[in-house]
Structures are given as structure tokens and as C-alpha cells.
Amino acid sequence: MKILLLLTPALLFSLEPSIASEELPKKSFTYLNLGVTTTASDRFSLIMPDLSLGVRTLSSHHVFDRVVGVVAHPEVQMLYVQGSYLFFPTPSEGFYFGAGITCGLYHMKDSCPLPPTFIYANLPITLGYQFPSKKSFQFIQIQVTPLGTGTISYGIGF
């Protein structure tokens, strides 16, 4: 019994530095996303800046992404929220793909026969690459939708 008590403190002291020096990976991060969005319609085709703020929750190979964003152009303005499920073949870094849903307000100048502002929904398909890093998160991604719009963007986490 005395031997066990003498060994136990020695084991605790020897394990303590390795536990203290190990940093736990972040489970989520907030990010700023800067991109370019295109629209394709019968009447016009536009390239517009896209600015969004998002939160990405990491869980090994699976990620849930939530975004609030705005697209602004003199002819078209959009305010949107988006939720996406992303799958990473390697845990939380490297290439990823996924799908989601986007809902928001869409305002068009000279929008006849449509009303000037209306609610819209879309189903974006995402393909991207998240750069491996333990300190800061960065990614680049492309999204396309069945409605013929597309976005290419760069995100940086903080």
C-alpha cells in the first residue's frame, strides 16, 4: 500500500506537463466572408460584391455552417440567411463539399412584372477548401444554385 501511494504522486507530476502543454482544438469559429456573386436571368447578368458573417461548428468530418449576408449592387440588393451542412473527407480541413438552404429578401430596381421586393429561397451546393491551421481558419469556396447563380468567396476566421 505504501508503494502505491509513493508512485501515485510521481505519476501525477510526470503527466501534468504533457496535459498542460496540449492545446484543445476549437470546436467552432466566427468568420468574415468576402465574395463575388453572379446572377443570370433573361434580362441581365450581374457581378456583385457579397459580404457575410458566419459561424462554422466543427465536428470531425461534419460541419454546420450558418451565415448572414448582404449582396449590393445599384440594380439588385439581397439580404439573406443561409444554413449548410458540409462534409470533410479529412477531419475539419482540406477539401469539403455540401449543400444548404438560403432564404432572404431580394430587391430589384425596375422589377416589372415582379414586385420590387420579394422573399426568395435557394439551395446552394458548395465545394471548398479549408486551409489547415490550429490558430486561424481560412477557406475558399464556390457555391452554385439551381437558379443559375454562383458565388466564389474567401473566408477568414477569428
At 61-100, the pLDDT tens digits run 899 999 999 998 888 889 999 999 999 998 878 999 999 9
Q: Where are the domains of the chain?
A: 24-157
At 10-42, the pLDDT tens digits run 444 444 444 444 555 678 889 999 999 987 665
pLDDT of residue 75: 81
Fold of 24-157: Porin (2.40.160)
* Cα separation values, 58 from 3, 30, 93, 123, Å: 45, 11, 10, 21
pLDDT of residue 134: 73
Q: 45: part of which helix (H) or strand (E)? A: strand 45-59
Residue 3, SS3? helix
* Cα separation values, 113 from 31, 107, 116, 118, 147, Å: 38, 13, 9, 12, 18
Mean pLDDT over residues 38-50, rounded? Answer: 76
pLDDT of residue 86: 96
113 pLDDT band, cuts 50/70/90, is low
Supply angle C-alpha 124, 112, 102, rounded to 5: 15
In the chain, what percentage of residues exceed pLDDT 90? 49
Decide the pairing of beta strands 62-72 and 45-59.
antiparallel
Residue 17 has φ and ψ, to the nearest 5°, of -60, -35
